[in-house]
Amino acid sequence: MFESITDSLGTIFDKIRGKRLTEEHIKEAMREIRIALLEADVAHNVTRDFIKEISEQVVGEKIIKAVKPDELIIKLVNDGLIELLGGEYSPIKQATKGPTVIMFCGLQGSGKTTTVGKLATKLLKENRKPLLVAADIQRPAAIEQLKILGKQIDVPVFAESGSDPVTICKQSIAVAELHKADTIILDTAGRLHVDDDLMMELENIAKATNPTETLLVLDAMTGQDAVNSAKEFSERLSLTGAILTKMDGDARGGAALSLRKVANIPIKLVGVGEKLDALEDFHPERMAGRILGMGDIVSLVEKAQLEVDEEDAKKLQEKFLKNTFTLEDFQKQLAQIRKMGSIKDLLGMLPGIGKQLKGVDIDDAQFDKIEAIIKSMTPKERTYPELIDYSRKERIAKGCGLQMGDITALLKQFKEMRKMIGKMGRSGMLGNLLSGGGMPQMDDEDGGGLGSLGGMNPMAGLGGFGGSGTKAQISKKDIRNKRKKEKKNKKRKKRRK
Ligand SMILES: Nc1nc2c(ncn2[C@@H]2O[C@H](COP(=O)(O)OP(=O)(O)OP(=O)(O)O)[C@@H](O)[C@H]2O)c(=O)[nH]1
Ligand SMILES: [Mg+2]
């Protein structure tokens, strides 16, 4: 998502970076930013106001005389984007009394039913108990779709094909009590266009259930059409927020950047794939960071926190510190990272990496290869890869149906990775990282680059990351003790000499 606008803004900023700016330079930059926004399908009036506001702050002596005018411009654009995206993060509310009712509405095919399933999955992770309600009785297939989803995630579904949507939604409150559910999600019917019938039905459902949240589901791929339909829906219903779906496709971002100004509703969640875990909270600030190619570390750490088991993370960190990290651990770590999403998307969240990834094809299937190779090894080989000689390589290659060269490449990169972990451990960098001190800059020593066999080096970073985001951390005290011990041992050895 946002790839093209990130690219164009990156090029514009590269041009002004480090320069002494004249008024002419600034005008040119503003003109180019305007084009970048329009090309990203941001609404005309939104673009016009955005450029006007920034220009007003930029033009004049202040910026030209500033010590770093380029940085000031980037900051203004960043602030402007955050504002366009809605300013502050707007979480899904919970009812203070009785069950929380979340009503979904939107045009046909916008992703309502899928997102109902995704939201329920998210709520389950937060220990909430959802009930799904099939209020789309137009099509029998729609009820079936919701029932299948409910079964998949083990969440009750209330569906009554003979009844009308308003009655079903009203009854669902008593049904929720029966199931001890605390959150009711209403999946309403969609239409091809906003029409009176649909609006009446939605208004009546809202009247009958008094929803805590009325969320409009919009297909981000439809750009300004989505924004226009949002305007129409918001004129009839008191919407509390929007969910933008299909942000994983080649949506240019125009809908996300225009929605707040045009329809005045906050974006609460974004859909980033067809799978049930492909739903993210929408944080304007982080999103602006992504658009400007500054990465989104916070979301990455949050993803890691959700997927990484604390106990496992602690064990892994100990292995990192002792540098006894094996191929078996590597495989486990890889599986955990893959649960978080596509590797390219994850790497794209690291500052500065998104740009480098442009045109680099990181094929997730490469990781299947790595897993297949490791699976074909004996436990002993996974722990002591140095045992793997020619004949063992031959056997492993046969076992996983790959070339011997693939096994050699994996072993070489694993060796490099261990060397790097060892180096980081000795320099104290790893201790700093594991105790939450942040992400070190890593050099790509083997020159393999991000494209090489899935780029293992950045993953070593991600592994540390997963750990650093969890509570199961090795404390600074542990590391100090370890260092003290090492010093003592050294002294003892010296004395012996
Ligand atoms: N790639 C991608 N596809 C999505 C996303 N959300 C939904 N879809 C797909 O969009 C299609 C329509 O989704 P539904 O959930 O059935 O849409 P709906 O709004 O319930 O449609 P109606 O019930 O017909 O009004 C399905 O093929 C989904 O898999 C998303 O975030 N990314
Ligand atoms: Mg549906």
Q: Tell me: pLDDT of 313 over 80.
A: no
The answer to which of 150-159, 261-270, 428-437, 445-454 has the lowest mean pLDDT is 445-454
- The rounded percent of the chain whose pLDDT value lies above 90 is 42
pLDDT at 478: 55
Question: What separation in Å is there between the alpha carbon of 13 and the centre of ligand 1?
Answer: 36
Q: Tell whether ligand 1 has an atom less than 6 A from the beta carbon of residue 109.
A: yes
Mean of pLDDT values over 328-335:
81
Alpha helices, H only, 135-245 = 140-153, 165-179, 196-209, 224-236
pLDDT at 26: 84
Mean of pLDDT values over 19-39:
87
Model confidence band, residue 453 (pLDDT cutoffs 50, 70, 90): very low
Q: Tell me: pLDDT of 359 over 80.
A: no
Q: Tell me: pLDDT of 461 over 60.
A: no
8 A C-beta contact, residue 4 and residue 252: yes
Strand 157-158 relative to strand 183-188, pairing = unpaired
Q: Tell whether ligand 1 has an atom less than 6 A from the beta carbon of residue 336.
A: no
Q: Tell me: pLDDT of 356 over 80.
A: no
Q: Rounded distance, CA 21 to CA 34, Å? A: 19
**Residue 104 φ/ψ, nearest 5 degrees:** -100, 140
User: What strands, in cross-sheet order, belong to the sheet with 279-281?
Assistant: 157-158, 130-135, 183-188, 100-105, 213-219, 241-245, 267-271, 279-281
Q: Tell whether ligand 1 has an atom less than 6 A from the beta carbon of residue 219.
A: no
Q: Tell me: pLDDT of 80 over 70.
A: yes
Sign of CA dihedral 150, 333, 346, 88: positive
Q: Tell me: pLDDT of 320 over 80.
A: no
Ordered by where they begin, the domains of the chain are: 3-84 (1.20.120.140), 100-292 (3.40.50.300), 299-478 (1.10.260.30)
Model confidence band, residue 467 (pLDDT cutoffs 50, 70, 90): very low
Q: Tell whether ligand 1 has an atom less than 6 A from the beta carbon of residue 474.
A: no
Q: Between 353 and 321, where is the model more confident? A: 321
**Pocket residue to mutate for ligand 1, from 145, 244, 245, most atoms within 8 A of Cβ:** 245
Model confidence band, residue 62 (pLDDT cutoffs 50, 70, 90): low
Sign of CA dihedral 430, 432, 437, 440: negative
Q: Rounded distance, CA 112 to CA 188, Å? A: 8
Q: Between 397 and 66, where is the model more confident? A: 397
Q: Tell whether ligand 1 has an atom less than 6 A from the beta carbon of residue 110.
A: yes
Model confidence band, residue 330 (pLDDT cutoffs 50, 70, 90): confident
Q: Tell whether ligand 1 has an atom less than 6 A from the beta carbon of residue 117.
A: no
Question: What separation in Å is there between the alpha carbon of 107 and the centre of ligand 1?
Answer: 11
Tens-place pLDDT, residues 267-312? 999 999 999 999 999 999 888 888 887 766 666 666 676 666 667 7
Model confidence band, residue 442 (pLDDT cutoffs 50, 70, 90): very low
Angle at 372 between CA 367 and CA 378, to 5 degrees: 130
Length of the chain: 497
For residue 454, give every residue at least 6 positions away whose Cβ sits within 8 Å of its Cβ, in sequence order, or none.
343, 362, 363, 366, 367, 370
pLDDT at 5: 86
Helix (H) or strand (E) holding 391: helix 390-400
Looking at residue 471, the DSSP 8-state letter turns out to be S
Question: What separation in Å is there between the alpha carbon of 230 and the centre of ligand 2?
Answer: 18
Copy the structure tokens of residue 238.
Answer: 């008191």
Question: What separation in Å is there between the alpha carbon of 266 and the centre of ligand 1?
Answer: 21
Q: Tell me: pLDDT of 474 over 50.
A: no
3-state secondary structure of 463: helix
Copy the structure tokens of residue 76.
Answer: 């203004």
Q: Tell whether ligand 1 has an atom less than 6 A from the beta carbon of residue 273.
A: yes
Q: Tell whether ligand 1 has an atom less than 6 A from the beta carbon of residue 118.
A: no
Q: Tell whether ligand 1 has an atom less than 6 A from the beta carbon of residue 246.
A: yes
Atom of ligand 1 nearest to the CA of 142: 23
Q: Tell me: pLDDT of 340 over 60.
A: yes
Q: Tell me: pLDDT of 472 over 60.
A: no
pLDDT at 451: 31
pTM over 0.85: no
pLDDT at 107: 93
Sign of CA dihedral 466, 471, 474, 480: positive
pLDDT at 479: 55
